[in-house]
Structure 1
Amino acid sequence: MAARKHGKSPGDDRGRPLAAPLLFCCLLILAALGLFQPAVIFSAMAEENDFFGEESEDNFLTWRGFVEMEGFFRTREEFQDEDRVVKNEIRSHLEVRYGSDDRFAFMAADLYLLPQALGNETDTVYYYDEDSGIDRNLRIYGREAEAQFNELYVNCSFDRIRLRAGNQKYAWGTADFFNPTAYANPYDLRELIFKDEEELKLGIPSLSAMAFTDAFTLEAVLAPVHVPTLLPTTDQFWAIRRVEGFFPVVIDDTQALDPTLENTGWGLRLSATRGNTDISFSAWRGPDHDPVLLPAGVVVEPGEPVALLIRPDYHVIHALGADVTMNTDAFVFQAEASWSPDKCSFVRQDLTDIAGITFPFEVEKSDYLAFAVGANWFVPLGRLIDGHTGQSVLSVEWYQSRFFKEGLNPPLLPDMFTCRYEDSFLDDLLYTEITFIYEDRHGGTIFWPMIGLDFQNGFTLEVSYAGIDGEGSGSWENDSLFYYFRDNDMVMAKVRYVF
């Protein structure tokens, strides 16, 4: 039996009023690009036309973006043709920079639409949110449409100082796949890990300052308001349906921490380069981007089994971290670690003993350690295959995380070994990527090959497959995370036009 949602039913259309305005905004922004043409033509007189390159005094406005169509399709044989479609999505991405080299405003905006859900009463298999509204980081959302402004800030640079204010994303850490020291930005986990890399982190309203010296770089971050991680809701495709073998799961509404001084986040990162080695030290005091998925009660409805109510619960933590990168001719070695004395989790109880359960589960603090070790090998295939001109890269990473106190539920992100091979052929017309993820705490895998065509005229086409497998019986203590998504094997197709 499918889990039931806590709150609005799937057929409720209260999220629909945002769909039409967002569609209008999407078309308006794309149409407005034509108004920028005079500025772009004018700026073409500059010697350097790269988006982030040097600008002449005349080059006051630059922009770039893409339009994309992406589809997810189930591969399990038990699904009928009409039930195979998980998501058909249109995405429009636009980046605009206005100003001089030292003082400018920057925006990176994404507009999303699920057109198959517009104008009909059928429920979507994938949707953005149960309700409609605006988040603290200016995410405007509805059931079938969403706008994100993950980067929207003003920049002022001086001789050795850079100041920024607005929505920002912070590239802390060196690991390729999972960054233990990326404290500030929450994640968008509504598609597990199958979003594009640049979509996984959410921007946060913040102030940042960076000071440059000949010996080191110091970055300071102040985040006055908390922005929660985005999780799949109860009946969404990527939601966990049941735990302990029989308990249906209902996800409660996520509540951000109150905007008080106590819940303000701040961080420091000190970086230096010595020869071929980059090293950084970081500190964070503020909201943890990993929620405690707290069993908070039960939901009882006539004629339905008892469901477990899970409430995303956030806490303020302290953390210290370090990362290092060493470059050689053919290899790049990376290591990253973070320690917290007060990361939170809940104390496990035996769900089979219903009479003995106490809700909500008790939350306790614990010492916590997470680290990632990896390497990139630039494979010299040109020496082995005559005529091979593409870049071949093999990346491997081992990620581990631990609570030191016994009896706590394991960390949200499990222990994983990740391996990825990337290559391109025919003067980069054909490119490919093969990713394999092994969850080594309880045994689970994701096999994710992709092949793409770059038509070298702005259009690219990518097709990929995700095979997900995990061992378990429904016990949250002994199951692989991937066990809950073992029926979510899918084919993904994406067409993108870059302008």
Structure 2
Amino acid sequence: MGRYNTRDNSLKTALLVGALVLLAMATLGAKDVDLRGMVRSYNAMTLADADLAINEQTIDLKLEGWGDMTRLVVNPYAYVGLDSEPEIGIREAYVDLFFESMDVRIGKQAIVWGQAEGAFITDIVSPRDMRSFILADFTEIRMGIPALKADYYLGDYTFEGIWIPRFVPSSLPASDGLWAQEMTLPNGTPIAPSITEVGTTFEDSEVFGKISRFGSSLSWEVMGGYAWTDEPHVTNIDGPTATATQEYGRFAVVGGSFSMPLGPTVVRGEAALYLDKPFSSVTPAMPSPTVEVEKHHQVQSLLGVDWNLWGVSMSGQYILSYVHDHNATLMELGRPVEEFKHTFTFRMQDTYISDRLTAKIFVYLEPEPLNALVRPSLSWSIEDGVSIEGGVELFVGDEDGTFGTYSDNSLAYVSLRWYF
């Protein structure tokens, strides 16, 4: 939702067509070929002034071909947004190779780790599409990355290794978009970002590893990696040119997660330690603030419970973030970094009328300062594969909070989806 891209798409279109042609040629000898997809029309208006903020048409395809020991997947997509050029791309394009005790996946792929719902703790392998904040579908918010992934199976255990030869950052909101967060000098002058890109040498690649076990009474995974921050941090602010130099930084991560049924409930937990993660230390000064880069250990953790009550599916999560050796000058993505940050989430979902009507609400809540994102919705299945959904994205509370700062961006939306 809300993607705005005004770049020339001629090359993308040519690449997409070429990829589809190659895929068709490659799957001629496959035993099974499957094409499925989704067409979506999404419209949203702001509650503050009833302005049509988003009018977007989407087509998302998945072409899949199977051989005796291989699988080929290509996931092209296209968006046409309000007052913007069409955006055409390929979210995933990879080949799976299947061996007796190992699977290998080569190509552009979106990788999902961890047990969190609507949060990213150990799930940091794939960057995020944040151009519409966190409102994109959870299935679409993770971006595809070029990677080599291998899974080795030994009894109940899986050993997974990932090599990402070229770093791909998260996509952030456009400076003139609905979700932009503008940085300014003390005199109010807007600051333009200047981002230093990461190199493409072997030393600039990322690596991750994970050991996991799936069991009926307990499932768990332990992970580690050496990565880049998916979002840039400020390294210098130049007052005369009103420019903020930004770059991506290296850090190591270790963590894990678990999921355990307890009677009618499921308890989930997840935690990660980011070692020497870079933060911007910004000290107010005239004519421009002074900036230093400081490295701090950061802990992200989550405890969640899923349960059913009278047939209603419910979920609650508590998320804690802690920054070691914290000081009041630390900034991240233009916002102050808190030593302790607490976030709660709650989800409730039920179906009615022979499962044709689905009612759902998802809430993010920060107690300090008190602010929240409330996401109620109703969807109706018109027929198999066709549904219409209406809902509200309600940002409320203190404007210094993660969600309250977008209080003017509360939306009412309607979406029509057609699956094939």
Q: Verify: 1:70 aligned to 2:37, yes or no.
A: no
Distance (Å, rounded) in 2 between the aligned partners of 1:285 and 1:205: 16
Q: Secondary structure at the match of 2:384?
A: coil
Q: What per-residue deviation string (whole Å, max 9, x for no partner) do you get for residues 334-385 of structure 1?
A: 10000022111011312xx424732xx111111111111111112233xxxx
Distance (Å, rounded) in 1 between the aligned partners of 2:315 and 2:119: 13
Q: Contact between 1:330 and 1:379, CA under 8 Å: does it hold in 2?
A: no
Deviates more, 1:325-334 or 1:152-161: 325-334
Query: Shift of the alpha carbon at 1:406?
Result: 2.3
Query: Shift of the alpha carbon at 1:255?
Result: 4.1
Query: Shift of the alpha carbon at 1:456?
Result: 2.4
Q: Contact between 1:60 and 1:98, CA under 8 Å: does it hold in 2?
A: yes
Distance (Å, rounded) in 2 between the aligned partners of 1:149 and 1:255: 25
Where structure 1 has 5 or more consecutive residues not aligned to the other structure, the ranges are 1-9, 41-56, 118-142, 301-306, 382-391, 473-478
Q: Contact between 1:377 and 1:393, CA under 8 Å: does it hold in 2?
A: yes
Distance (Å, rounded) in 2 between the aligned partners of 1:198 and 1:145: 21
Query: Shift of the alpha carbon at 1:314?
Result: 0.8
Query: Shift of the alpha carbon at 1:483?
Result: 3.4
- Counterpart residue number, 1:292: 233
Distance (Å, rounded) in 2 between the aligned partners of 1:485 and 1:431: 27
- Counterpart residue number, 1:202: 143
Query: Shift of the alpha carbon at 1:22?
Result: 5.0
Q: What per-residue deviation string (whole Å, max 9, x for no partner) do you get for residues 18-38 of structure 1?
A: 389859979x98xx9xxx9xx
Q: What per-residue deviation string (whole Å, max 9, x for no partner) do you get for residues 91-131 of structure 1?
A: 101011112253021112221112x42xxxxxxxxxxxxxx
Taking structure 1 as reference, are residues 212 and 15 closer, same or farther at Cα in structure 2, changes over 3 Å only?
Answer: same
Structure whose residues are more often strand by fraction: 2
Taking structure 1 as reference, are residues 98 and 420 closer, same or farther at Cα in structure 2, changes over 3 Å only?
Answer: same
Distance (Å, rounded) in 1 between the aligned partners of 2:347 and 2:155: 36
- Counterpart residue number, 2:174: 233
Q: What per-residue deviation string (whole Å, max 9, x for no partner) do you get for residues 305-348 of structure 1?
A: xx6x4454211111100101002442111100000221110113
Taking structure 1 as reference, are residues 91 and 299 closer, same or farther at Cα in structure 2, changes over 3 Å only?
Answer: farther
Distance (Å, rounded) in 2 between the aligned partners of 1:294 and 1:459: 49
Q: Secondary structure at the match of 1:347?
A: strand
- Counterpart residue number, 1:374: 304
- Counterpart residue number, 1:109: 76
- Counterpart residue number, 2:380: 453
Distance (Å, rounded) in 1 between the aligned partners of 2:187 and 2:343: 27
Query: Shift of the alpha carbon at 1:298?
Result: 3.6
Taking structure 1 as reference, are residues 463 and 253 closer, same or farther at Cα in structure 2, changes over 3 Å only?
Answer: farther
Query: Shift of the alpha carbon at 1:248?
Result: 5.1
- Counterpart residue number, 1:96: 63
Q: Residue type matched to 1:490 in 2? A: L
Distance (Å, rounded) in 1 between the aligned partners of 2:226 and 2:12: 38
Structure-to-structure mapping, 1:214-225, within 5 angstroms: 214-225=155-166
Q: Residue type matched to 2:370 in 1? A: G
Structure-to-structure mapping, 1:356-367, within 5 angstroms: 357-358=289-290, 361-367=291-297
Q: Verify: 1:438 aligned to 2:386, yes or no.
A: no
Taking structure 1 as reference, are residues 455 and 486 closer, same or farther at Cα in structure 2, changes over 3 Å only?
Answer: same
Q: Residue type matched to 1:318 in 2? A: A
Q: Verify: 1:405 aligned to 2:325, yes or no.
A: yes
Q: Secondary structure at the match of 2:125?
A: coil
User: How many residues were matched structurally?
Assistant: 405
Query: Shift of the alpha carbon at 1:432?
Result: 1.3
Distance (Å, rounded) in 1 between the aligned partners of 2:288 and 2:258: 48
Q: Verify: 1:168 aligned to 2:109, yes or no.
A: yes
Q: Contact between 2:12 and 2:88, CA under 8 Å: does it hold in 1?
A: no
Taking structure 1 as reference, are residues 162 and 261 closer, same or farther at Cα in structure 2, changes over 3 Å only?
Answer: same
Q: Which runs of 4+ in 1 moved over 3 A?
A: 14-17, 19-26, 241-251, 253-256, 309-312, 410-415
Query: Shift of the alpha carbon at 1:481?
Result: 2.0
Distance (Å, rounded) in 1 between the aligned partners of 2:245 and 2:397: 24
- Counterpart residue number, 2:286: 354
- Counterpart residue number, 1:345: 279
Q: CA RMSD in A?
A: 3.0
Q: Contact between 1:108 and 1:152, CA under 8 Å: does it hold in 2?
A: yes
Deviates more, 1:147-156 or 1:245-254: 245-254
- Counterpart residue number, 1:153: 94
- Counterpart residue number, 1:124: none
The structure having more radius of gyration, on CA atoms, is: 1
Q: Verify: 1:252 aligned to 2:172, yes or no.
A: no
Q: Contact between 2:391 and 2:412, CA under 8 Å: does it hold in 1?
A: yes
Deviates more, 1:405-414 or 1:219-228: 405-414
Distance (Å, rounded) in 2 between the aligned partners of 1:199 and 1:293: 28
Q: Contact between 1:102 and 1:157, CA under 8 Å: does it hold in 2?
A: yes
- Counterpart residue number, 1:496: 417
Query: Shift of the alpha carbon at 1:256?
Result: 3.2
Q: Secondary structure at the match of 2:365?
A: strand
Q: Residue type matched to 1:167 in 2? A: K
Aligned-residue sequence identity (percent) comes to 21
- Counterpart residue number, 1:336: 270
State which of 177, 192, 207 in structure 1 corresponds to 2:118.
177
Deviates more, 1:432-441 or 1:314-323: 432-441
Q: Secondary structure at the match of 1:234?
A: coil
Structure-to-structure mapping, 1:413-492, within 5 angstroms: 415-472=342-399, 479-492=400-413
TM-score (norm 1): 0.75
- Counterpart residue number, 1:281: 222
Q: Secondary structure at the match of 2:283?
A: coil
- Counterpart residue number, 1:304: none
- Counterpart residue number, 2:33: 61
Query: Shift of the alpha carbon at 1:177?
Result: 1.8
- Counterpart residue number, 2:257: 323
Distance (Å, rounded) in 2 between the aligned partners of 1:148 and 1:264: 23
